[in-house]
A and B are shown apart, each in its own frame.
Chain A
Amino acid sequence: MSDQNLTDWRKLALKLEAEINKVILGQELPIRLVTNAIFSRGHVLLEGDVGVGKTTLLKAFARAIGGGYERIEGTIDLMPNDLIYHTYLGEDGKPHVDEGPILKSGEDLSIFFFNEINRARPQVHSLLLRIMAEKTLSAFNQEFTFPHLTVFADRNQVEKEETFDIPSAARDRFMMEIPIIIPQVDKLMNQLIFDTKFHDADKLISEVTPKMLKFDQLNKLSSEIQNTIKSTSALEKYSLNLWKATKNPEKYNIKISGIDTERLIVSGASPRGISMMMKCARVSAWLNNRTSILPEDIHAIFHETIAHRLVFNPVYELKRTEISRELSNEILNKVSVT
Chain B
Amino acid sequence: MRKIHLLFCLLIFSSVTLFAYEDPRKFPDIDPKYIEIDILDPNQKVGYTVGDYIVREINLTVKKPFKLIEESLPIVGYEKRYRGQLLGISLKEIDVSKESRDEFSSYLIKLKYQIFTNNVVAKPASITADYYRFINPNEPKKIQKFRVPEFTFAISPIAIFGDVKIENDMSPYRGPFFLDKIQGENKIKYSLVALLLISLIFVYIYGRYTWLPTRTFSMIYRKFKKQKPSAANTKKIITALHAGFDNLIDQSLFEDNIPLLIKKNNSFKHIEKELHTFFKISRALFFQKHIKLDQDELNKWLINFALHCRMCERRLIVNPKEIKGISF
Contact = CB atoms under 8 A, between A and B. Distances in A.
Most chain A CB within a 10 A radius of its CB, from B239, B255, B256, B287: B287
A338 B239 contact: yes
A296 B288 contact: no
Contacts of B107: none
25 contacts: A230-B289, A231-B287, A232-B286, A232-B287, A232-B288, A235-B287, A290-B288, A292-B287, A292-B290, A293-B287, A294-B287, A294-B288, A295-B254, A299-B254, A299-B256, A332-B252, A333-B251, A333-B252, A334-B251, A336-B243, A336-B246, A336-B252, A337-B254, A338-B242, A338-B282
A22 B242 CA distance: 40
Interface string B240-263: 001100100001101110000000
Contacts of B256: 296, 299
Interface in B64-87: none
Interface in B119-138: none
B156 to A, nearest CB: 80
A228 interface: no
Contacts of B309: none
B242 A337 contact: yes
B251 A338 contact: no
- The secondary structure that dominates the B interface is helix
Contacts of A235: 286-287
Interface in B270-300: 282-283, 286-290
Interface residues of A, number: 20
B115 interface: no
A234 B239 CA distance: 11
A337 B289 contact: no
A13 B256 CA distance: 24
B286 A234 contact: yes
B180 to A, nearest CB: 57
A83 to B, nearest CB: 42
Contacts of B91: none
Interface in A222-271: 230-232, 234-235
Nearest to A295: B254
A338 B256 CA distance: 17
B287 A336 contact: no
B89 interface: no
B306 interface: no
Contacts of A296: 254-256
Contacts of B255: 296
Nearest to A293: B287
A266 to B, nearest CB: 26
A201 interface: no
B238 interface: yes
Given A293-B287, A335-B252, 18 more contacts: A230-B289, A232-B288, A234-B287, A235-B287, A291-B290, A292-B287, A292-B289, A294-B283, A295-B254, A296-B254, A296-B255, A296-B256, A299-B254, A333-B251, A333-B252, A336-B243, A336-B246, A338-B243
A292 B288 CA distance: 6
A338 B283 CA distance: 11
A336 B239 CA distance: 10
Interface residues of B, number: 17
A168 to B, nearest CB: 28
B61 to A, nearest CB: 93
A232 B289 contact: yes
B242 to A, nearest CB: 5
B231 to A, nearest CB: 13
Interface string B103-121: 0000000000000000000
A325 to B, nearest CB: 16
Contacts of A293: 287
Contacts of A294: 283, 287-288
Contacts of A290: 288
Contacts of A232: 286-289
Contacts of A230: 289
B302 to A, nearest CB: 14
Contact of A338 (B238, B288, B290): B238
Contacts of B286: 232, 234-235, 337-338
B245 to A, nearest CB: 10
The winner among B239, B286, B290 for most chain A CB atoms within 10 A is: B286
Contacts of A338: 238-239, 242-243, 282, 286
Nearest to B246: A336
B21 to A, nearest CB: 105
A40 to B, nearest CB: 19
Interface string A295-338: 11001000000000000000000000000000000001111111
A230 B289 CA distance: 9
Contacts of A334: 251-252
A295 B287 contact: yes
A290 B283 CA distance: 12
A335 B251 CA distance: 8
The 3 closest A-B pairs by CB, nearest first: A333-B251, A234-B286, A338-B239
Interface string B215-248: 0000000000000000000000011001100100
A235 B242 CA distance: 15
Nearest to A330: B251
B281 to A, nearest CB: 12
A337 B242 CA distance: 9
Contacts of B242: 336-338
